């Protein structure tokens, strides 16, 4: 994965284009926005040394006015995000399904810009909120820009765009006191979702480890909706899009998430930035699930329903390409903040379906950019500009950056020779799929959208034991934070529709019985005149016992690249021990960090000085994937005298991480909770570096979890 040397050759067409708008601070002269050289930027113009400031001071006014307007509205959802540039490569052309250039030409490297995000929190909120993650990709293709604006979960909360504002209002901080920030654990969210049974599927994903990823680089991505592929013959296939991280799908525990939020609320942002900066470029395989038109009604669920996934065991994911992120943005605001994703940005060969959530999104995203970026010319902002130049008769508006010449701005015209002229379909023009529609105009929902319990149950059944325990703990925590008992009861009733065992376990934690009945109909997400009985969810079905692809226990455990290894050491540590581990793990791409009693340097037993990466009081165990304690009598004595080192190891043990120690390092372990558990398979004492590597690669030793729970940290 380390790819430093090829950094240059992978600079994309988009990055090249951005160079025209990029400038360096180094070597530049300070001037006003009108180009006047500035002599003093610290003092305003006054009437006398102690006198009033003069209105005349245009230098002061220009500086302050710009500052006053430096903020734009944050995104109403997905406000907190991190972006990176990269490229997409196609391994296998699929002309039988689509005519899209990006899926036909294996020699292309299509530039991309990706923005990862949390959903509910404000721009400055923690990265480790229990939340869905946004995974939005802008493909700058030769036929125009395609935006795949997805999430890290394959389904969404609601089936109809009309309910989106209600969903978002319920999860955002409550309107009277603006509490809580970046958290779903409050009454209004569970009040809403307990009245809208369609939300249960995404809700149970939100309770799973997927909602607290270890890294953006270790998350899957999904386009969610069913889209269409259109081939040269004009034939259509249904398609769902998937991103699969090369590093596998890994998460932190909730206890870590809470602590990381305090120790480093930029944890995911920093992780992405540092990995790219170090030349460890994150990669995702790109896959498609293809369904022939003829199979539209073959499944137990409706393909147009965005609360349903298509199990990979029923329709396999065909991997056809790979995305690599290889460049950090130069400027957060200019690129990551101003990038505007629109699900409506598609290219010939890709088209929409009638998924009612997707249809609503096609309206929302352009609209929101108008208030966020303030102008219909937002496509001219460098990060949003396509790599193919385009012209039309749209003119003027706030911040028009281009100078269209000529007398005409209409079509048809004769004065400009009919230009900008139209393209023939054979020349690659976009045309919508000619779907046959013969229907009444109605405000209702299809009965085929009424199965709200089968897939949450399938998801829960498919999880490993430890994942199920995390779901129980998450529901217990979240509902425990709610104040109103009737909301908890409704939720228990809903959870019971998914799985009785799950409901009983959560009910125990809440100290509330699972109700057999509730007063109102369970699904109130219907119109006042609607026939209530018609809109109730149907009973749970079981059309697939388990979908192993849904469990993180079945992900890849192949690499330790970019894993953060804390070396607990002080003056006198054994150089030989550290060298053994360091060379073996660094060779595999792990990041070895010396955590010492103080900053600066420490001296090993061979009298050499070593740079300290973090002083113990500036860091926390939760920021690392594994811990190593080298030998060295003096070093180990110093560690043992500092209770924060004991806590450091205890926490790593609590979070089921790999721990290794050599020689006197073992004595230190004996002072921690690890003593008495030296036979744990992820505790390696005086072992081989390869054993430690294997344990780190496994991400966590979940077999330890019962003991780990007893660690008082
Ligand atoms: Fe979004 N969503 N969304 N959403 N969404 C926005 O657009 C909206 C939905 C997603 O990094 C907003 O530019 C509606 C599903 C991502 O810039 C806004 C509905 C999925 C991002 C908006 C949905 C998403 C957004 C806010 C229901 C996964 C961040 C700022 C009909 C497939 C993109 C903005 C970025 C952002 C509306 C549902 C993903 C308000 C109305 C389903 C990743 O337009």
At residue 3, the pLDDT reads: 55
**Coil/strand/helix, residue 7:** helix
Shortest-distance atom of ligand 1 to CA 360: 31
Ligand 1 centroid–CA 499 distance in Å is: 30
Backbone phi and psi for residue 280, each to the nearest 5 degrees, phi listed first: -95, 90
Neighbours of 35 (CB within 10 A): 7
The answer for residues whose C-beta is within 8 angstroms of residue 528's C-beta and 6 or more apart is: none
> Best substitution site from 123, 352, 365 to test ligand 1's pocket, by max atoms within 8 Å of Cβ?
365
| Residue ID of nearest Cα to ligand 1 atom 18 | 365
Selection from 106, 87, 84 nearest residue 95 by Cα: 106
Residues 470 and 502: their CA atoms lie apart, in Å, by: 11
Task: Name the DSSP letter for residue 671.
Answer: T
Ligand 1 atom nearest to CA at 306: 42
Question: Please, which residues have CB within 8 angstroms of residue 698's CB and are 6 or more apart in sequence?
Answer: 557, 658, 682
pTM of the predicted structure, to 2 decimals? 0.97
pLDDT, tens digit, 9 for 90 and up, residues 620-642:
999 999 999 999 999 999 999 99
Q: Closest Cα to residue 78, out of 118, 42, 40? A: 118
Please report the atom of ligand 1 found closest to the CA of residue 365.
44
State which H helix or E strand residue 253 sits in.
Answer: none
Q: Is the pLDDT of residue 5 over 60?
A: no
- Residue 410: Cβ-neighbour burial (10 angstroms; 0-12, 13-18, 19+): exposed
In the reported structure, the alpha carbon of residue 360 is separated from the centroid of ligand 1 by a whole-number distance in angstroms of 10
89 has pLDDT over 80: yes
β-partners of residue 83 are 115
**pLDDT of 484 higher than 60:** yes
Structure confidence by residue, pLDDT tens digits, 405-444: 999 999 999 999 999 999 999 999 999 999 999 999 999 8
Question: Which residue CA neighbors atom 29 of ligand 1 most closely?
Answer: 78
For ligand 1, mutation pick of 149, 157, 369 (most atoms within 8 Å of CB): 149
pLDDT digits (tens, 9 = 90+) for 266-284: 999 999 999 999 999 999 9
Instruction: Give 141's strand partners.
Output: 144
Confidence grade of residue 2 (pLDDT, cut at 50, 70, 90): low
Kindly provide the b/e burial profile for residues 334-345, where b requires at least 16 CB atoms within 10 angstroms of the residue's own CB: bbbbbbbbbbeb
Q: Which of 74, 171, 364 to mutate to test the pocket of ligand 1 (most atoms within 8 A of CB)?
A: 364
The one catalytic residue in 78, 85, 379, 699 is 78
The atom of ligand 1 lying closest to the CA of 149 is 43
Residue 692, token pair as written in the block: 């430690």
Residue whose CA lies nearest to ligand 1 atom number 38: 361
77 Cα to the center of ligand 1, angstroms: 7
Q: Which of 77, 241, 332, 355 to mutate to test the pocket of ligand 1 (most atoms within 8 A of CB)?
A: 77
Rounded distance from Cα 79 to ligand 1 centre (Å): 10
Residue nearest to atom 39 of ligand 1 (CA): 150
Q: Ligand 1 mean position to 624 CA, how many Å?
A: 32
CA of 365 to the centre of ligand 1 (A): 7
* Catalytic residue status for 151: yes
Q: Which of 459, 453, 446, 445 is nearest to 538 (CA)?
A: 453
Q: Are 323 and 243 a contacting pair, CB within 8 Å? A: yes
Contacting residues for 389 by C-beta, under 8 A, at least 6 apart = none
Pocket probe mutation, ligand 1, options 341, 355, 384, max atoms within 8 Å of Cβ: 341
Cα distance between the two ends of the chain:
35
Please give the annotated binding residues for heme, written as ranges: 75, 115, 164, 361, 365, 372
Q: How confident is the model at residue 659 (pLDDT cuts 50, 70, 90)?
A: very high
Question: What's the Cα-to-Cα distance from 232 to each of 315, 380, 425, 592, rounded to whole Å?
Answer: 24, 31, 10, 52
What is the β-pairing status of strands 133-141 and 109-118?
antiparallel
Closest ligand 1 atom to Cα of 78: 29
Is the pLDDT at 10 greater than 90, yes or no? no
**Atom of ligand 1 at shortest range from CA of 222:** 32
268 is annotated as an active-site residue: no
- Residue with the nearest Cα to atom 28 of ligand 1? 150
Q: Find the 212 Cα to ligand 1 centroid distance in Å.
A: 20
- Residue having the nearest C-alpha atom to atom 8 of ligand 1: 361
- Give the closest residue (by CA) to ligand 1 atom 24: 150
622 and 655 Cβ atoms separated by less than 8 Å = yes
**Rounded Cα distance, 531 and 20, in Å:** 60
Nearest atom within ligand 1 for CA of residue 151: 28
- Other C-beta atoms closer than 10 Å to the C-beta of 386 total 18
Is 0.90 exceeded by the ipTM? yes
Q: Which atom of ligand 1 is nearest to the CA of 224?
A: 32
Tally of residues, the chain: 713
Q: Which atom of ligand 1 lies at the shortest distance from residue 369's CA?
A: 13
Token pair, residue 191, equals 């009040």
**Cβ atoms 558, 248 nearer than 8 A:** yes
The average pLDDT across 473-483 equals 98
**Residue minimizing CA distance to atom 42 of ligand 1:** 156
Alpha-carbon span 123 to 115, nearest angstrom: 13
Convert the pLDDT of each residue in 374-416 to its tens digit: 999 999 999 999 999 999 999 999 999 999 999 999 999 999 9
Cα(552)–Cα(468) distance, rounded to whole angstroms?
A: 11
Q: Residue 703's pLDDT band (boundaries 50, 70, 90)?
A: very high
Note whether 454-534 and 557-708 share their fold: no
Residue 533 has pLDDT above 80, yes or no: no
Distance CA 471, CA 630 (A): 37
Q: What's the pLDDT score for residue 273?
A: 98
Q: Which of 39, 42, 66, 151 is catalytic?
A: 151
CA of 601 to the centre of ligand 1 (A): 47
Residue nearest (by alpha carbon) to ligand 1 atom 31: 161
Task: Please name every residue paired with 568 in a beta bridge, in sequence order, or none if there are none.
Answer: 595
- Of the residues 138, 272, 358, 361, which should be mutated to test ligand 1's pocket, given the most ligand atoms within 8 Å of the CB? 361
- Fold classification of 81-384 is Catalase HpII,  Chain A, domain 1 (2.40.180)
What is the dihedral sign for C-alpha 48, 49, 53, 57? positive
- Please say whether the beta carbons of 655 and 687 come within 8 A: no
493 CA distance to ligand 1 middle (Å) = 30
**Regarding the domain delimited by 454-534, which CATH topology (the fold level of the hierarchy) does it fall under?**
Hemocyanin, N-terminal domain (1.20.1370)
Ligand 1 centroid to Cα of residue 136, in Å, is 9
CA 239–ligand 1 middle distance (angstroms): 20
Share of the chain above pLDDT 90, in %: 95
Helix and strand totals (H; E) in the chain: 18, 18
The CA distance from 209 to 464, in Å, is 11
Q: CB of 508 within 8 A of CB of 492?
A: no
Residue 460's SS3 state is helix
User: What CA–CA distance (Å, rounded) separates 55 from 565?
Assistant: 58
Q: Is the pLDDT of residue 542 over 90?
A: yes
> 75: which residues sit within 8 A by CB, 6+ positions away?
81, 117, 123, 368, 372
Lining residues, ligand 1, CB within 6 Å: 75-78, 81, 115, 117, 134, 136, 149-151, 156, 161, 164, 224, 306, 341, 357, 360-361, 364-365, 368
Phi first, then psi, for residue 603 (nearest 5°) are -110, 130
Q: How far is CA 562 from CA 188, 421, 584, in A?
A: 39, 51, 14
| Residue pLDDT, tens place only, 150-189 | 999 999 999 999 999 999 999 999 999 999 999 999 999 9
Enumerate the H helices of 378-484 as residue ranges.
454-462, 465-480
Average pLDDT in the 324-340 region? 98
Name the CATH topology of 557-708.
Rossmann fold (3.40.50)
144-164 CB burial, b ≥16 within 10 A, e <16: bbbbbbbbbbbbbbbbbbebb
CA of residue 457 to ligand 1 center, whole Å: 26
Q: Which parts are annotated binding residues?
A: 75, 115, 164, 361, 365, 372
Q: Is 605 helix (H, G, I), strand (E, B) or coil?
A: coil
Q: How far is 458 from 549, CA to CA, in rounded Å?
A: 11
Q: Where are the domains of the chain?
A: 81-384, 454-534, 557-708
pLDDT at 519: 83
Residue 534 has pLDDT above 80, yes or no: no
Phi, psi of 199 (to 5 degrees): -75, -15
Residue nearest to atom 43 of ligand 1 (CA): 134
Q: How does pLDDT run across 591-609, given as a tens digit for each residue?
A: 999 999 999 999 999 999 9
């Amino acid at each position: 994965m380390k790819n430093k040397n090829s950094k240059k050759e992978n600079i994309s067409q988009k990055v090249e284009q951005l160079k025209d708008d990029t400038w360096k601070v180094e070597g530049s002269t300070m001037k006003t926005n009108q180009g006047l050289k500035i002599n003093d930027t610290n003092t305003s113009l006054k009437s006398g040394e102690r006198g009033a400031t003069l209105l005349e001071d245009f230098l002061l006014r220009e500086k302050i006015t710009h500052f006053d307007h430096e903020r734009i509205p944050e995104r109403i959802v997905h406000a907190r995000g991190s972006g990176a540039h990269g490229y997409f490569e196609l391994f296998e052309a699929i002309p039988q399904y689509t005519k899209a250039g990006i899926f036909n030409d294996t020699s292309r490297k299509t530039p991309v810009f990706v923005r990862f995000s949390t959903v509910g929190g404000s721009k400055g909120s923690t990265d480790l909120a229990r939340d869905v993650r946004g995974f939005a990709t802008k493909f700058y293709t030769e036929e125009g820009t395609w935006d795949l604006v997805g999430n890290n979960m394959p389904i969404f909360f609601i089936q109809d765009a009309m309910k989106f504002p209600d969903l978002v209002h319920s999860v955002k901080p409550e309107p009277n006191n603006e509490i809580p920030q970046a958290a779903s654990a409050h009454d209004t969210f569970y009040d809403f979702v307990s009245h809208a049974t369609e939300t249960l599927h995404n809700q149970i994903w939100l309770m799973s480890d997927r909602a607290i990823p270890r890294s953006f680089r270790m998350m899957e991505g999904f386009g969610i909706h069913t889209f269409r592929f259109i081939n040269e013959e004009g034939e259509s296939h249904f398609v769902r899009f998937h991103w699969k991280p090369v590093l596998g799908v890994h998460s932190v525990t909730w206890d870590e998430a809470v602590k990381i939020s305090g120790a480093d609320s930029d944890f995911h942002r920093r992780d992405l930035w540092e990995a790219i900066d170090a030349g460890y470029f994150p990669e995702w395989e790109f896959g498609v699930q293809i369904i022939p038109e003829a199979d539209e009604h073959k499944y137990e669920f409706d393909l147009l329903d965005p609360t349903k996934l298509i199990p990979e065991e029923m329709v396999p994911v065909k991997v056809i390409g790979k995305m690599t992120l290889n460049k950090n943005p130069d400027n957060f605001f200019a690129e990551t903040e101003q990038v505007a994703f629109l699900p409506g940005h598609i290219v010939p060969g890709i088209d929409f379906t009638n998924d009612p959530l997707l249809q609503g999104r096609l309206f929302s995203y352009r609209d929101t950019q108008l208030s966020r970026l303030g102008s219909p010319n937002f496509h001219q902002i460098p990060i949003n500009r396509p790599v193919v130049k385009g012209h039309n008769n749209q003119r003027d508006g706030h911040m028009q950056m281009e100078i269209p010449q000529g007398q005409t701005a209409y079509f048809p015209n004769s004065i400009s020779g009919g230009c900008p002229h139209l393209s023939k379909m054979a020349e690659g023009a976009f045309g919508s799929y000619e779907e046959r529609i013969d229907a009444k105009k109605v405000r209702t929902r299809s009965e085929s959208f009424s199965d709200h319990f089968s897939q949450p149950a399938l998801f829960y059944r498919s999880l490993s034991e430890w994942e199920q325990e995390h779901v129980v703990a998450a529901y217990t925590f979240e509902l425990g934070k709610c104040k109103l008992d009737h909301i908890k009861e409704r939720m228990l009733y809903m959870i019971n529709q998914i799985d009785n065992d799950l409901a009983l376990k959560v009910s125990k934690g809440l100290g509330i019985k699972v109700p057999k009945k509730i007063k109102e109909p369970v699904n109130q997400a219907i119109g006042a005149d609607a026939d209530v009985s018609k809109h109730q969810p149907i009973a749970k079905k079981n059309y697939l016992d388990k979908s192993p692809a849904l469990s993180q226990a079945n992900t890849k455990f192949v690499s330790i690249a970019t894993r953060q290894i804390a070396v607990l050491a002080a003056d006198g540590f054994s150089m030989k021990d550290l060298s053994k581990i360091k060379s073996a793990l660094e060779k595999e791409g792990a990041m070895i960090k010396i955590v010492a009693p103080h900053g600066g340097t420490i001296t090993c037993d061979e009298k050499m000085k070593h740079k300290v990466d973090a002083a113990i009081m500036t860091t926390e165990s939760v920021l690392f994937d594994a811990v190593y304690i080298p030998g060295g009598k003096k070093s180990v004595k110093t560690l043992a005298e500092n209770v924060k080192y004991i806590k450091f190891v205890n926490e790593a043990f609590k979070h089921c991480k790999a721990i290794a120690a050599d020689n006197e390092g073992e004595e230190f372990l004996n002072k921690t909770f690890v003593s008495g558990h030296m036979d744990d398979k992820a505790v390696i004492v005086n072992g081989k570096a390869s054993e430690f590597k294997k344990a780190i690669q496994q991400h966590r030793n979940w077999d330890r979890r019962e003991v780990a729970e007893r660690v008082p940290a």
